[in-house]
Structure 1
């Protein structure tokens, strides 16, 4: 039995590596925002488009690419998406102006959407039923690992050398991951091709609707504020710019712990796991401009912020697996919402921060967390098969 399971667990690791690099690629500009803005001669709000563009492209790629490829083996699709990531990262590293950099980020967005749409529902096809929760925790651990390793190390590399070097390194690691995916994944023909009508059908299920809307409120709110975490730490908490990369390591480490805790808790209590997320984010982000006004308290709030947001992916995906009529279609829909929310959040945050201030931007984000919390509170826990004690 062990010999039969080992190859499939290597496949799970390969998918986790892909998620890790995709999230790193999407969020890396957050840590390098000040560098790129200065080098390209744009405002921080304009530089935030490096997060908005791939987020929006990924949002539309997530539901449309699985439809477009039809019955294409998912192993081939996942590998191709990583190859597209290689090209997008390489072009980002050599872009001569900001317009070309944004064009390269379009390719990054395509790979993110196409990969995530399949990866989120693949665990049940790789491991036995009683191992699915562990496989999902590992796969979505790539999201938190991107925060603890990818984005911070990319930021440190960019600070020590140049932001272009960070994007080039990302391209090299993406190439290695594409090879691993091809070698380790088994053939994965789709059980049923995803049709556009299937995506709409998922919304007829109340559990899916609540998951979609709550994810939208939480992710938009998060990126309204977190896109500008570098200036937040510097201007509100008094942290020197040279320490931002190191502090993002702490943020990511907290995110990994949050992902692990959520993976264990959400399997038994998906309703409560999802409810806790906007509730805690509301408190942390709302008080940050008032409480986090010196380095120590700012860092503590940053770590709590990371732990809570690190639990989002595995908690919501567990909710989806409990409620969705078609898990691959629902996962593609969730990938659309998640990535569109990243793009919208970064764009809205850029407009707010350029026209008002960092504290107001954080309070605007808190308002979105409040909406997410109220939505879950209005939903009966029996929707996901959970009863209050």
Structure 2
């Protein structure tokens, strides 16, 4: 049976996530050029990732509460214009000290957009399509990895990091226009009350899922943040070779996310999270075998397949657990992504500065395996809760206060 087509506004949200993802990943993609241009070490330049991740971590839940009653068309369009302005201002900065605070202000946009786009996607479709809609919108991040990141790395490698930042500013303006034209007006999810936020924060299941996300991000970004200088140092990669490696990694990520988007409603979000996280762990385990470009490309395959797909599955997992609390839980999940990036980038920077590159994959692997163990524990707890108190009709996690989608297009 052919599945119904997803509504057109989801494509605009997907494109917005593509631009957001490209902008977030432009720093690791151009880390070599940033380090050389600003005359700082790679470990120091990598703290742009840490500082930005801290802002996104703290900003996602705080801003979710602040903008709760805004029309999503207006909010998401203006968020992309903020992103454009931040990148334009960044390329004018003459030093690392000047760039750091501008970068921190710029990434306020991802703190808003990713979480609110996911929550908005859940309101644009019937309840039975929510998992598919959320993962579809998150495909934008995978597309950023397969197209945006390598293109940004190539432009940065050949024309400098400022040119790459300028490209993102232009894409952000185009994205704002697309969202304004395609997203229907009047989507105003009810603001979460203090009591509702309390329910999110006190829910062992929801906060357990968020904690899994944080551990996943920390484990990956120990190594991912410094991928460019590590590969240049170990394999002598130039800008073109780095661009090709990023493109290969991104292609695997796009394929993985497409598979998750297609099958997640059939096999369940929790199982998808387990599979994709184990794929990441496999690459970290095999990392010492990456002694050439060929073996490195092979080692990156499982990581690419799981990297972005697991974030999509986590978002869908939260929406399915409690659609009514999704604006808060998805915002906190975005915080989980970014706090993981901050911790991972800081730990990786410390290891890099202390000539302990060989430990990066093992530290990352241990952290990802903790995420696996916690994810399994949360899944078992959810099953026990459902067994002890079976809800009438369909599962309680699939019901909203109105018994369906708050906004159906």
Q: Are the counterparts in 1 of residues 283 and 303 from structure 2 also a CA contact under 8 Å? A: yes
Q: How does 1:112-261 map to 2 (within 5 A)?
A: 112-195=110-193, 197-237=195-235, 239-261=237-259
For residue 17 of structure 2, what is the aligned residue in structure 1? 19
For residue 383 of structure 1, what is the aligned residue in structure 2? 382
Q: CA deviation at 1:84?
A: 0.8
For residue 98 of structure 2, what is the aligned residue in structure 1? 100
Cα separation, 2, equivalents of 1:50 and 1:143? 20
Q: Are the counterparts in 1 of residues 154 and 239 from structure 2 also a CA contact under 8 Å? A: no
Q: Does 1:57 align with 2:55?
A: yes
Q: CA deviation at 1:86?
A: 0.7
Which is worse superposed, 174-183 or 263-272? 263-272
Cα separation, 1, equivalents of 2:239 and 2:170? 27
Q: Are the counterparts in 2 of residues 206 and 383 from structure 1 also a CA contact under 8 Å? A: no
Which is worse superposed, 337-346 or 107-116? 337-346
Q: Give the 3-state SS of the residue equivalent to 1:100 in structure 2.
A: helix
Which is worse superposed, 263-272 or 18-27? 263-272
Q: Are the counterparts in 2 of residues 323 and 383 from structure 1 also a CA contact under 8 Å? A: no
Q: CA deviation at 1:39?
A: 0.9
If the length of structure 2 is used for normalisation, what is the TM-score? Answer: 0.87
Q: Does 1:87 align with 2:96?
A: no
Which is worse superposed, 195-204 or 297-306? 195-204
Q: Give the 3-state SS of the residue equivalent to 2:119 in structure 1.
A: coil
| RMSD across aligned positions (CA) | 2.1
Cα separation, 2, equivalents of 1:200 and 1:364? 33
Which is worse superposed, 59-68 or 138-147? 59-68
Deviations, residues 92-130 of structure 1 (Å, cap 9, x unaligned): 111111122112212221111011221111113223344
Q: How does 1:310-329 map to 2 (within 5 A)?
A: 310-324=308-322, 326-329=325-328
Cα separation, 2, equivalents of 1:313 and 1:233? 25
Q: CA deviation at 1:364?
A: 0.8
Q: Are the counterparts in 2 of residues 30 and 230 from structure 1 also a CA contact under 8 Å? A: yes
Cα separation, 2, equivalents of 1:327 and 1:261? 23
Q: CA deviation at 1:350?
A: 0.9
Q: CA deviation at 1:41?
A: 0.8
Q: Give the 3-state SS of the residue equivalent to 2:184 in structure 1.
A: coil
Cα separation, 1, equivalents of 2:130 and 2:73? 19
For residue 367 of structure 2, what is the aligned residue in structure 1? 368
Cα separation, 2, equivalents of 1:237 and 1:199? 48
Flag structure 1 segments of 5+ consecutive residues without an equivalent: none
Q: CA deviation at 1:52?
A: 1.6
For residue 73 of structure 1, what is the aligned residue in structure 2? 71
Aligned residue pair count = 381
Q: Are the counterparts in 2 of residues 234 and 241 from structure 1 also a CA contact under 8 Å? A: no
Q: Are the counterparts in 2 of residues 237 and 298 from structure 1 also a CA contact under 8 Å? A: no
For residue 264 of structure 1, what is the aligned residue in structure 2? 262
Change (3 A) 1:12 1:380: closer
Q: CA deviation at 1:376?
A: 2.1
Q: Are the counterparts in 2 of residues 233 and 298 from structure 1 also a CA contact under 8 Å? A: no
Change (3 A) 1:264 1:207: farther
Cα separation, 1, equivalents of 2:375 and 2:10? 31
Q: CA deviation at 1:187?
A: 1.5
